[in-house]
Structure 1
Amino acid sequence: MTFVPSGPLRLWTERTGDPSAPAVLLIAGSSAQGLTMPDALVARLVDRGAQVIRYDHRDTGRSSSVDYDRHPYGLTELAGDAVAVLDAYGVESAHIVGGSMGGMLAQWLGVHEPSRVRTLTLLSTSPMGHDPASGELPPSSLKHEGGPPGVESDVALFRAMNGGVRTFDEPATRAMLERCWARAADPSAAANHRRLIERMSPDLLVPLSKITAPTVVVHGDVDPIYALAHAEALVAAIPGARLEVVPGMGHVYLSPGVPELLADLVPLNAA
């Protein structure tokens, strides 16, 4: 575990595996700590010969919290945090694996920092410049009423996001979420990520055709947040991208066997 700087902020990071091995950077989704990228995913990637780095976004986990009204930020700044993590570990280029919002940050890196990207694996995500209000792609179908903030509410949310087809591993999910809540410096700060859409900067609208890294788009066919059409739009926009549809997978990765399946889809030998 290491804290690394990103401007005035400190980001919690963790590296697993041989530091001389090819690097995989795992980028979690909106409001999510690095630990939501499952331990089993990390372990399988290490077994495949990679070093794996995961980290907490600003305003999540043990990373710095931000006064968003005074210092607003968007996807661009969060992508800059990812670059800061690579810099701190002396990693010139990495296999980038991003889930949901993390997949949008991965796209940003592919467009704007191509020299830092060996390959892209885009999990359960949507084109980074997509405006949900445009009606061009299907809206979320997630049905979840929420509840008081805490582990139980988050377990219910993860159950809903699981998609209802593959087995929901509630014990593993609960254990992971208990770890996340216990280590969160300011649990309320993660809500700032819901405001990112307010900052749709021009660099998010750059065509994804500029991505040159080998790209795999991985999507569950029962994802209640982003329907499969979002993945198909990504594949159509990124030259040479390959679509891998995971039957029965929703928007989270804790069903038995899913972390290992995702790890095996990361194209470590492509670059």
Structure 2
Amino acid sequence: MAAENGTFVHSGPVRLWARRVGDVEHPPVLLVMGTSASSVLWPPELVDRLLAAGCQVVLFDHRDTGLSDTVDFERDPYTVADMAGDCLAVLDAFGIASAHVVGMSLGGTICQWLAVHRPDRVRGLTAVMTSPLGEDPEPAWRRALAGQDPDPGALPPPAPRFLRHLAARAETGGETRADRVESATETWRVLHGEVLPFDEAEARRVSALGYDRDRDPNSGDNHALAGRMTEDRRVDLSRIAAPTLVVHGTEDPVHAVEHGLRLAALIPGARLRVVPGMGHGLFSPGLPTTVADLVAGHVADVERLG
């Protein structure tokens, strides 16, 4: 299989597809995508905006997505720590000692792990539409799925509309390419929220591209297992010394805005930027540019002060 203008690197026995773009003398930004998502989910305009702002950008496909290897999870289970190790393997392959790490959703969890456990590799941290590293989402999900009221002391569970969508999707199934692309597009519509305009054509294009690039369209489901709580995630986020930016939307149906507020409060000196109308995705005209400008501004501030 062609490397598609990128290269293959190794993280232990796992082969990962990765790509670096931009001037290698510019500050490196590692983009880390979320659950079951390959690097094609990073909008081209976001990458182009970072390049224009004077960054070099490194992207890669998580294990079990895109052109990277699939894993027999039952035989060789992995965790967030292993996925963080993949990030380090990518940086090592390009000779990058430390980088600004930018993670969306599960990617934000991975980047928090790096900032806690490998601070020497993290120049700056940007966590987008994610939740605190030590927050176990399973109890809140179980209560919500059982129709129980949320635990008053816990962060909010996913929105009912999103949970209803997941239940309906599980019942309808569908295994053809057209079925899978349609299902993914509808999922992005629900994740997007109901405030900002939804770019259905772009969501469909990216869903089709993702399906066609994946070695196994089902292997990304392993990320839900990898994301389960482990002891190395039960850490005090006040240990994070890297300058941190938290970006969160007001309409996120997976991690309500309270997740971003909590995360920013737990990390010393973290800055919070709440994006009105943003849900759990970037499929709205102008939204990738908005997020890119927030990231680029954070990178510039860190580089200037550091």
Residues 145-154 or 22-31, more deviating: 145-154
Q: Does 1:268 align with 2:299?
A: yes
1:232 alignment partner in structure 2: 261
Tell me how far apart the structure 2 counterparts of residues 194 and 118 of structure 1 sit (CA, whole Å). 28
Q: How does 1:72-221 map to 2 (within 5 A)?
A: 72-132=77-137, 133=139, 135=151, 136-141=154-159, 142=162, 143-144=164-165, 145-146=168-169, 147-149=173-175, 150-198=180-228, 200-221=229-250
Aligned to 2:299, what secondary structure does the other structure show? Answer: coil
Q: Does 1:12 align with 2:17?
A: yes
Partner amino acid, structure 2, of 1:137: L
Q: CA deviation at 1:148?
A: 2.2
CA RMSD of aligned residues (A): 1.1
User: What are structure 2's unaligned runs of at least 5 residues?
Assistant: 1-5, 141-150
Residues 50-59 or 138-147, more deviating: 138-147
Q: Is this contact kept in 1: 2:106–2:227, CA < 8 A?
A: no
Tell me how far apart the structure 2 counterparts of residues 130 and 256 of structure 1 sit (CA, whole Å). 32
Partner amino acid, structure 1, of 2:252: D
Q: CA deviation at 1:197?
A: 4.3
Moved over 6 A (4+): none
Q: Is this contact kept in 1: 2:126–2:245, CA < 8 A?
A: yes
Tell me how far apart the structure 2 counterparts of residues 164 and 62 of structure 1 sit (CA, whole Å). 33
Tell me how far apart the structure 2 counterparts of residues 14 and 151 of structure 1 sit (CA, whole Å). 25
Q: 1:208-230: CA deviations, max 9, x gaps?
A: 10001111100000000000110
In the superposition, relative to structure 1, how do residues 203 and 164 fare at CA in structure 2: closer, same or farther (>3 Å)?
Answer: same
User: What are structure 1's unaligned runs of at least 5 residues?
Assistant: none
Q: How does 1:17-36 map to 2 (within 5 A)?
A: 17-36=22-41
Give the number of equivalent residue pairs: 270
1:71 alignment partner in structure 2: 76
Tell me how far apart the structure 1 counterparts of residues 100 and 223 of structure 2 sit (CA, whole Å). 24
Q: 1:85-105: CA deviations, max 9, x gaps?
A: 111111111111100000000
1:241 alignment partner in structure 2: 270
1:253 alignment partner in structure 2: 282
Tell me how far apart the structure 2 counterparts of residues 179 and 74 of structure 1 sit (CA, whole Å). 26
Tell me how far apart the structure 2 counterparts of residues 95 and 197 of structure 1 sit (CA, whole Å). 22
Tell me how far apart the structure 1 counterparts of residues 75 and 214 of structure 2 sit (CA, whole Å). 22
- Larger % of helix: which? 2
2:143 alignment partner in structure 1: none
| Percent sequence identity over aligned pairs | 49
User: Which protein is bigger by CA-based radius of gyration?
Assistant: 2
* TM-score normalized with structure 1 length: 0.97
Tell me how far apart the structure 2 counterparts of residues 11 and 20 of structure 1 sit (CA, whole Å). 24
Tell me how far apart the structure 1 counterparts of residues 27 and 280 of structure 2 sit (CA, whole Å). 27
Residues 237-246 or 136-145, more deviating: 136-145
Q: CA deviation at 1:201?
A: 2.2
Tell me how far apart the structure 1 counterparts of residues 205 and 220 of structure 2 sit (CA, whole Å). 19
Q: CA deviation at 1:181?
A: 0.8
Aligned to 1:187, what secondary structure does the other structure show? Answer: coil
Tell me how far apart the structure 1 counterparts of residues 39 and 52 of structure 2 sit (CA, whole Å). 19
